[in-house]
Structure 1
Amino acid sequence: MKRGPVVVVLAAGRGERFKGSGHKLEQALGTETVLAVTIGHAIESQLQVLVVTTESLAPQVRRMVAARDVVIVPEPGLGKAATFGMGHSIAAGVSASSQAPAWLILPGDMPLVQPSSLLAVAAALEQSPIAYAQYRGRRGHPVGFSSELYSELTELSGDEGARRIVARFPGVGVELDDPGVLQDVDTQEDLHRLRLVRSAA
């Protein structure tokens, strides 16, 4: 395993826009699930991978990563967890890997992001406190943060993610030949599109 940023895979969201049976991260993509493909690509980068997820998805995650690299957060929409969002998930993942030199934030519904893209953004963090993947000038994921932003990351809450941090600190876009850095699964149409891309690869 390479010494470098920890890839924090976010797999605790509600996926409210996905209208189908089951959670969007559990949908089939080839012989695996959306989440399994995303985690698999992260593991292929040979960087440490940490997954922030819920109890309902944890069994799937534990088949791929060690128990120590799984962070369980409350199921969304239950009691206090109703306000639990991406910001909380990022904070939980960063807090659980506090000794890391940097972090790459990767949503669990982005299975087409290539391992080489993760490594390219990781390399850019050696020169900048924030780096992010982009394709044809459009900003995507992963988004990387150096350890100097630890306090800001661990104080995140709500569902806004880290956009305010990205706006406040200097960052560098890493132009990549990887359209997967823009492609997530929010709807059934997104899933169908990704299945076509994956089957054609």
Structure 2
Amino acid sequence: MAPSRHNPSKDTPDVLGLILAAGHSRRFGGDKRLAALDGQTLLAATTARLAPHVSSVVVMLRHGEHARAFGLPAGTHTLQAPSSPIGMGTSLAAAVSALLVSSEPHHQQCKALALMLGDMPGVRAETLQALAGRARHDNIVRPYHQGRAGHPVIFGRAFWPALAELQGDEGARALLRRYPSRVVVFDVNDPGILTDVDTLDDLSSLQ
């Protein structure tokens, strides 16, 4: 199946990208977000990969952090996670809660949210384009490669209030189980949707 054409414009908000980057890289042995990849940080590389396929990007950082420390482009919109230790679900809920009350026009008008992890720069451009093209206000688009689910997952705006209520470490899996009839499974020939960077060996495989 040929990928759907999707040419987002910064002036016509459509799908918003949310990159979660508030974790602590315990297996990596340092702050993997700052690891060098192709002349930029790992987080900047992930952001640059997603940005052309969404109307705008929001990056969630740890409390007290700023975009410039990670080499993110000037003007990158960031959110800060709560200062107390939190799990993936709580972090995602905090980000979506902020987006629901945001006064930014892009945040108010977009119909869906592409949820990406900050250590996944290997997702192919054509995959991101095709996923964004399938986004709707009332569906959830989930990519699969060889039977395994990956990222980004795109949540229609109808599901944002439920995302804002998540707690703990589970992330959005509970939401996927709650609304199985609204999940659009999209098979892709792209191992990048499964490839995150947890160790130095993982990083080396991308270089």
Q: Does 1:94 align with 2:96?
A: yes
| 1:47-66 alignment, distance < 5 Å | 47-54=55-62, 55-56=64-65, 58-61=67-70, 63-64=72-73, 66=75
CA distance in 2, matches of 1:106, 1:191: 17
Q: Does 1:146 align with 2:156?
A: yes
Give the 3 Å change call, closer, same or farther, for CA 15–169 of structure 1 in structure 2: same
Aligned residue type for 1:174: F
Aligned residue type for 1:186: D
Contact 1:120 1:174 in 2 (8 A): no
Aligned residue type for 1:182: L
Give the 3 Å change call, closer, same or farther, for CA 127–9 of structure 1 in structure 2: closer
RMSD of aligned alpha carbons = 2.0
| 1:6-85 alignment, distance < 5 Å | 6-19=16-29, 22-54=30-62, 55-56=64-65, 58-61=67-70, 63-64=72-73, 66=75, 69-74=77-82, 81-82=84-85, 84-85=86-87
Give the 3 Å change call, closer, same or farther, for CA 172–179 of structure 1 in structure 2: same
Counterpart for residue 129 of structure 1: 139
Counterpart for residue 178 of structure 1: 190
More helix by share: 1
SS at match of 2:95: helix
Work out the percentage of aligned pairs sharing the same amino acid. 37
4+ runs of 1 displaced by more than 4 Å?
A: none
Aligned residue type for 1:58: A
TM value normalised by structure 1: 0.83
CA distance in 1, matches of 2:31, 2:91: 17
Deviations 1:58-115 (A, max 9, x none): 3235741525x2101245xxxxx22x12112212222232223111100001011133
Counterpart for residue 157 of structure 1: 167
Counterpart for residue 119 of structure 2: 109
Counterpart for residue 103 of structure 2: none
Give the 3 Å change call, closer, same or farther, for CA 128–134 of structure 1 in structure 2: farther
CA distance in 1, matches of 2:66, 2:31: 9
CA distance in 2, matches of 1:103, 1:65: 22
Contact 2:120 2:196 in 1 (8 A): yes
- Structure 2 unaligned runs (5+)? 1-9, 101-107
Give aligned pairs, total.
186
Counterpart for residue 201 of structure 2: 189
Contact 2:18 2:116 in 1 (8 A): yes
Q: CA deviation at 1:123?
A: 2.2
